[in-house]
Structure 1
Amino acid sequence: MQAQKFDVLIVGAGPAGAACAIKLANTGLAVALLDKATFPRDKTCGDALSVDVVNQLAMLSDKLATEFSALAAKVPSYGVKIFAPNHQHVDIPFFHKNQKSCGYICQRLDFDNLLFQHLKEYKNIQVIENCTVEQVLPQADGLLAKTNRGEFTANIIVGADGAHSVVAKHLGPIKVEKDHYSAGLRVYYEGVTSFHDDNYIELHFFKDILPGYLWVFPLPDNKANVGIGVLSEVVSEKKLNLKEVLQKLLQTTPNLQERFKDARPLETVKGYGLPLGSKPRNISGERFLLTGDAASLIDPFSGEGIGNAIRSGRVAAEHILNCFEHQNFSAEFNRAYDKEIYRRMWKELKVSHSLQKLCRYPWLFNFVVKKGNQSKYLKQFLIEALANVEIKRLLTKPGFYYRMLFK
């Protein structure tokens, strides 16, 4: 059977792959988007969509942004409730450009399917489901992808296939490093009570799992996304059984046990890995680019990855157009992609990594939350820090804590 020929192969139809394909729509390039699943499909995740994610949808397509606005299966969230290890909390509303704003909680089953169905509108994009890429091989004039549904060739391939990327495995140098990787669990519940009136997402930090946290995010129909994410090196060092840790915290923590007393899990606990963007990596090479989780672009502090996945897909599409314009797909030419990714993202990833390291100290966390509730100035500072990386950077400076202590 002869290989099917395309200009671009994108492996993975999640947010990164879908964003890349949408930005290549109507460009005249023949694009194949391959995914091992059949949509709609679940994706183990916290399901939180930041303000950044919502804003980027309009950058992809006005129609897509309108379709998202009309999507019923989402809950608007207007802030975050952060619980310190001593169980005290501070409420921080979301702002964007000094205006009250909102993110959403939307199951990936629904969000990813929205992106996936939108893709079908474009004639130059061929979407192939139930297509597992088994091997990627370089050729003299391109790449060959061997799948369970035949062979595909292209000038360039985009790895948008997540934490265990086949593209990265066969072509890229990225390896799992426990100090730059987190283990995550998720389980859907119904019957969880006492959410904030504005559906604030909740991040619960506990001494034994720092710098990780337990999350509780409200969903439609009286449901909730509940999970835990812990740095892999902490899991190894403390020999943690995360399923047991999650259940124990839900059952014994004062501000959680009453709310989960009559709650019912709707599934077995699902596990997944989070490759963190806490160090720069080589994310391209001869005829390939890595995006999203495959490129390890998850925020090291918050664990959020969808925004950077979409952004990396957009940047990849822009770079691919340059590749075809110059007819250059070399590793050297593709270094411009790495440079642009980190130009846009590294500042925030670096700050988040610094905050992740500070979160190892429970007393410091307790102190900041306490002061955040006592000081209007600090509360406003925390609100602005959520939306502004330059302000957030101050949280990593010793002088900031000195001023909090003595002023």
Structure 2
Amino acid sequence: MNDLNIDFDIIIVGAGPAGFACSYQLRNQNLKIAIIDHATFPRDKICGDALSADVVNQFYRMDQSLGEKFERFAQKIYSHGVRFVAPNHSFLDINYQNPNHGNAAGYISKRIDFDHFLFQQIENQPNIEIFQGEKVMDIKSESYGIELKTDQRQLTAKMIIGADGAHSIVNRKLGNIKVEKDHYCAGIRQYYEGVTGFHANHHIELHFYKELLPGYFWIFPLPNGQANVGLGMLSSEVSKRKLDLKKALNDLIQSKPDLKERFKNANSLEKPQGFGLPIGSKKRPLSGERFLLLGDAASLIDPFTGEGIGNALRSGRIASEYIIKAFENQNFTADLLREYDKMIYHKMWNELRISRRIQMLLRYPKLFDFVVNKANSNSSVRTLLTSMLDNVDLKKELLKPRFYVKLLFGERI
């Protein structure tokens, strides 16, 4: 086979945020792109549904009009902060700082709606052909290009992009990221209606109950009076404790007095849905001969918050730059594409590393209680923690013993 038989320049597997961002950035390039997704849009994606300020900022970095379209997108509610509930049940409300773009620092939107919004931005692009409802069965890398087989057709391309989530077949066939329970979280989600007690500014809630540490229980408000409820925990802890996450979710709602009151008139809208989170707590190879891995397929989920959409969009945007470079040079070697790995970790590793270490601090519930209590009684501590949400350098302070010594003795911080 030779180049005359190549169907596409690029095949992108996965039409979620990472695949969207990559293809959107390549929409004006002279490149023929195929996108393959096993689902048909609109489709659900099990997730917490929270969208950080970075999501909005990535849209504006990609295209001003894209950011403006998202601001007009109706199927979302704003969120101006986060409530941290400590193991001793005291809580701390922190307001997000104003973002660089947009009307709110964060939003919450069901993934069935949000991902469909993204899909609509690429479905009619002239250089993009989308194959929905097709399962990828096999992928081979040959000297001339990539061969991909779905349950309906065979395609060839010069490059392939793995944007196909936690169980990426692109990674499985071509990459080298293995599932490691210490670097993987198990999660469960259930939609409800009628949950009460939300903050007036739609704060997302993270409840750090002792029995879940170093994981947490969450409640996120949604449009139309609904709520996204769930919990996430390191897979190694789930295995060690032999936990049934569905049972754990129900037990928490039924046994914790604060939750029991808020859920007394609530109705579940679905059975609990399980999912996996490959967290970015370890550097991995993200590329190779003729391929790149993006988003969840590249294990770029924040270890502490579990947020992955912002990093998925960012990885797709960055990947497009290296794809353009590869085609300009007609060079698809692992050596050239490894520059993508370097850039991703240059942009993301510092925050991922710090988030991992903060995640490990959650093994000490009394420390969490102490910080929350101090923040509630000391406005300067509360201001510092607010700034830490967006400032990686300030976040490092949480890892230093002297930070807690200062808190203990009431010193100025």
Q: TM-score, normalised by structure 1?
A: 0.98
When the two structures are aligned, how many residues end up with a matched partner?
A: 406
For 1:125 and 1:283, locate their aligned partners in 2 and report how far apart those are by CA, in whole Å.
24
1:375 partner amino acid: N
For 1:404 and 1:325, locate their aligned partners in 2 and report how far apart those are by CA, in whole Å.
55
Q: Given the alignment, which residue of 306, 309, 312 partners 2:315?
A: 312
Q: Given the alignment, which residue of 110, 121, 137 partners 1:134?
A: 137
Q: Shift in Å at residue 122 of structure 1?
A: 1.6
Matched, 1:239 2:250: no
The residue aligned with 2:298 is: 295
For 1:385 and 1:51, locate their aligned partners in 2 and report how far apart those are by CA, in whole Å.
14
The residue aligned with 2:192 is: 189
Q: Given the alignment, which residue of 372, 390, 393 partners 2:393?
A: 390
1:162 partner amino acid: G
Q: Shift in Å at residue 64 of structure 1?
A: 2.3
The residue aligned with 1:146 is: 149
Change beyond 3 A, Cα 1:119–1:16 = same
1:23 partner amino acid: Q
2:33 partner amino acid: V
For 1:264 and 1:169, locate their aligned partners in 2 and report how far apart those are by CA, in whole Å.
39
Report if the CA contact (8 A) 1:96-1:387 is conserved. Answer: no
Q: Shift in Å at residue 149 of structure 1?
A: 2.3
For 2:136 and 2:302, locate their aligned partners in 1 and report how far apart those are by CA, in whole Å.
27
Identity %: 53
Report if the CA contact (8 A) 2:78-2:104 is conserved. Answer: no
For 2:154 and 2:6, locate their aligned partners in 1 and report how far apart those are by CA, in whole Å.
6
CA shift digits 1:68-99 (9 cap, x unpaired): 11221111000000000111100000004699
What is the DSSP-based 3-state SS (H/G/I as helix, E as strand, rest coil) of the residue aligned with 1:90? Answer: strand
2:224 partner amino acid: D
For 1:137 and 1:3, locate their aligned partners in 2 and report how far apart those are by CA, in whole Å.
16
Q: Shift in Å at residue 363 of structure 1?
A: 0.5
User: How well do the aligned residues superpose, as a CA RMSD in angstroms?
Assistant: 1.4
Stretches of structure 2 that go unaligned for 5 or more consecutive residues are: none
The residue aligned with 2:351 is: 348
Aligned pairs for 1:107-256 (under 5 A) are 107-256=110-259
Stretches of structure 1 that go unaligned for 5 or more consecutive residues are: none
Change beyond 3 A, Cα 1:238–1:62 = same
The residue aligned with 1:335 is: 338
Q: Given the alignment, which residue of 284, 290, 298 partners 1:281?
A: 284
Matched, 1:359 2:362: yes
The residue aligned with 1:322 is: 325
1:366 partner amino acid: D
What is the DSSP-based 3-state SS (H/G/I as helix, E as strand, rest coil) of the residue aligned with 2:384? Answer: helix
What is the DSSP-based 3-state SS (H/G/I as helix, E as strand, rest coil) of the residue aligned with 1:221? Answer: helix
Report if the CA contact (8 A) 2:80-2:203 is conserved. Answer: yes
Q: Shift in Å at residue 131 of structure 1?
A: 1.7
For 1:63 and 1:57, locate their aligned partners in 2 and report how far apart those are by CA, in whole Å.
9
For 2:158 and 2:5, locate their aligned partners in 1 and report how far apart those are by CA, in whole Å.
13
What is the DSSP-based 3-state SS (H/G/I as helix, E as strand, rest coil) of the residue aligned with 1:324? Answer: helix
